[in-house]
Structure formats: structure tokens, C-alpha cells
Amino acid sequence: METEEDWEWLPDLLLNSIIEKLMLPGDYVRFGAVCKHWRNVAVAHKYRVGPMLMTPTKNSRRSLYDVIRGNKIISGTKLLPMPLIKRRCCGSSYGWLAFAMDNLVIRLFNPFLGKQIDLPRLLNHLEDGCDPQYYVRKVVLSADPFKNPDDFEAVAIYGCEQKLAFIRIGQKNWTSLPVSVIIKSKFFACDVIFYDGFMYAVNRENEFERGRIIKVDTEVGSLEIVAGWNWKAENKFDGEKLVQNRAYLVESPRGDLLVINRIMSYPSKENCTIGRTSKFKLHKIVRGKESWSMLVEVEQVSELGDDALFLGDNQSVSILASEFMPGYQPNSIYFTDDFFYPHEPRDMGIFNLKDQSFKRRYKLNPLHKASPPPIWITPPTPHHQ
């Protein structure tokens, strides 16, 4: 009995040092279940577990990788069930991973909760020669299905033309959005976000497309252009061609809507598809005084302060680094390779906005480059479960 009491009343300083070594939400839950005092310490603990990287391992399996401490946490069938282990993940929102199955059913799986949700088939027929894993580029959720089981939406970017479709839980069919027809211009969607009650999508700017953001009211299926720009990258950089190849939308912790353009450099060779991130451009989308206007102001952002962004095939995420476990680098962009060439090197790293430098901190085994690409996943906050 005395031993139990000694364990129960360990000093808070010691308990907090134990918590800082816990990496998974389940560990927090078990820690808090020891006794009331330990639970109170866990709930009051300042730091939360931030985004982790799900990476390929041998036999096309996946492991959860802590980018702060540089170690693997869990792997193989402990992370994903067998049908999903070798399948490309086309989305990650609120701890839920999205997978396009062979019949184009969109399967949501939460490895922290062990729960699964199947959304209806995105399409009845797949284009000839297409692999469903890569046909569906990205899936983003409006809310956490665990906390909002009867009230969440999903949006998918799919096909060679990167079209948009959305669905609300409980509906039997996806609603396709003919964006290019409505705006009378090409619109190859790069990223989507649910923000302030609406869905927003951004395309990539290139020699064929002007950069745009559209706003979609999913209640009625209407859409409008709310921002446009022409941010042309320089044509050459140290003998290489620069291309603005990706754009992302993310909500900052202060509620700002940011658009991030990822500038890729390619060797000056014909038909070269192997690129490397050379810089990022950040802008803030400013609302009109009354509401979103047709062309709102777009302000350049030179620094992120305490924020850290996580970009890739996941739902774009922004955190306050000081509120998460020590080691997350503020004023930085953590990025993974979200390109679709399965046999090429993976372009991943950390970009520091202050000095415009890159750290290639996490590297994959070259033997795994043909495996499903890495993706960020954010564990749920333990005491909010």
C-alpha cells in the first residue's frame, strides 16, 4: 500500500519529465489512468505531440517516425491493417488517413483509435490505365469524424485534370464541381481547405494557368473566384529551370488564410521530372471589409513567427511551435514529397524562412523509394479524446 501511495505522489517535476518522453496519444491515456493525480498532471502538461511522419519501410510497409527525436515509434501491422499497408495514402486530416481503394471507395482509417469509415465510391468507372491509388490525388476533411460522426464533409482532388468533388457524411454520392466550366478557364486544383464555413481551393500557377483561389459553398454547390495573381518564378536559377509546381492553403493559429507556393528547380534537360524544392513563397489572403470580394488583397508574408507549417499530401497544418513538444522549429516549413513518380528520390526537408536555408533532416532508405510516399499525420490531443 505504501508503494502505491509513493507512486501516486511522485513530484510533478518528475512526472512532467516522464510525459515529455511519451510520444503516442495512447501512452498519455495510460499515463493518466494510473491515478487522479497523474491524470491532472497529464491534462495540465503544456506540450502536445505534433505532426509525425508516416514513412515507408521494407516490404512497402509503413512506420511512424518522430522528426524531432529521429526515431521510429511503431511500424508494420501495428500501424495499418493489412489491406492498407502497401497502399498510397491520399490524405491525412485530424489523425485520419485516407486511401482510395481499388473500387474507388474512399476509406478513412485512424491508426490511433483503430477505427475505420468507408465513404461511397468517388466514381463508378475509372479511366483506362489509371491506378486508383494515384488517380485520387488528395482527400481533405472538414472536421474530425470521431468528434463529429454525423457532421463532417470530405473533398477530393482527382484525375489528370485535378478536378474537385465533395460529399457530406450520410450522402450516397459525391458532388463533382465543374470549376473550369464555371470560371471559363483551366483550374487544376493543388490543395483544398475548409475555412470559415466554406471550402477553398487553389490551383498551381504556370505558363498555362493564372494563380487563383476559389470559394465553394457546399450547401448549394456554388463557387466564385476570390483571389488571383501572377507570381512568375525566375526562369533560371544556378543553371536550372524554376517552376512553381505546388500551392497549398493553410489556416494559421491566428485564423489567417495563407497560400504557400512551392518553387521547384529542375536540371535544364528535356523531359526531366526529377525536381527539388528551391524556395517557398508565402502570402496572406486578406478579406474585403464587408466580406470576401471578387479580388481580395494578397499580401506577401516574410516570416511566420512562432508558427511551423507541415505540407505534403496531408491536410496542410500550422502549429504554434511553443505549444508543442520541444524541438519543433518555429518560423519554418516542414515538407514532404507529394509528387506522383513512384520510382524517383523523395524531396523532403525543413525550410527556415529567416535565413532561407534547407535542412534535409529526415532521409529515406533509397531501397524504399518505390514504396508509398511519406505523409504527415497529427495525433489527437490525448485529454480531448
Q: Residue 27 above 80 pLDDT?
A: no
Distance between CA 132 and CA 140 in Å, rounded? Answer: 17
pLDDT at position 236 over 60:
no
pLDDT of residue 90: 94
- Whether the per-residue pLDDT at 145 is higher than 60: the answer is yes
Q: Which of 212, 202, 213, 194 is nearest to 247 (CA)?
A: 202
The one-character DSSP state at 324 is B
Q: How does DSSP assign 22-50, residue by residue?
A: --SHHHHHHHHTS-HHHHHHHHH-S-B--
Work out the average pLDDT over 258-272: 75
Domain range holding 28? 1-45
pLDDT of residue 222: 85
Q: Which has the higher per-residue pLDDT, 69 or 53? A: 53
Is residue 35 assigned to a domain?
Answer: yes
- The pLDDT score that the predictor gives to residue 64 is 82
* Predicted pLDDT at 172: 96
Cα separation, 265 vs 162, in Å, equals: 22
SS3 354: coil
* Domain annotation covers residue 3: yes
Answer yes or no: is 14 within a domain: yes
Mean pLDDT of 307-319: 94
CB count in 10 Å sphere of residue 15: 19
Per-residue pLDDT at 379: 80
What lies within 8 Å, CB to CB, of 41 at 6+ separation is 12, 15, 16, 19
In a domain, 1, yes or no: yes
Residue 234 pLDDT exceeds 50: no
Mean pLDDT of the 107-131 span? 88
pLDDT of residue 246: 83
Q: Based on the number of CB atoms within 10 Å of its own CB, is 169 exposed (0-12), middle (13-18) or buried (19 or more)?
A: middle
Give the 3-state secondary structure of residue 194: strand
**In terms of pTM, does the model score above 0.75?**
yes
CA gap 320, 324 in Å, rounded? 7
In a domain, 104, yes or no: no
Amino acid at 336: T
Tens digit of each residue's pLDDT (9 = 90 or more) over 79-112: 788 888 888 899 999 999 999 999 999 999 998 8
Mean of the pLDDT values across residues 304-324?
A: 92
Q: Where does the pLDDT of residue 243 fall: very low under 50, low under 70, confident under 90, or very high at 90 and above?
A: low
Question: Does pLDDT of 2 surpass 50?
Answer: no
* pLDDT(52) > 90: no
The answer as to whether 307 is a domain residue is no
CA proximity to 143, closest of 102, 75, 96, 100: 96
Q: Which helix (H) or strand (E) holds 282?
A: strand 276-286
Instruction: Flag whether 346 is in a domain.
Output: no
Q: Give which of 356, 336, 184, 369 is closest to 248, Cα–Cα.
A: 336
Domain count along the chain: 1
Average pLDDT over residues 230-242: 55
**DSSP H stretches of helix in 111-173:** 132-135
Instruction: Please give the grid coordinates belonging to residue 36.
Output: 487522479
Q: Number of helices and strands (H, E) in the chain?
A: 7, 26
- Residue 28 belongs to a domain: yes
CA distance 86 to 88: 7
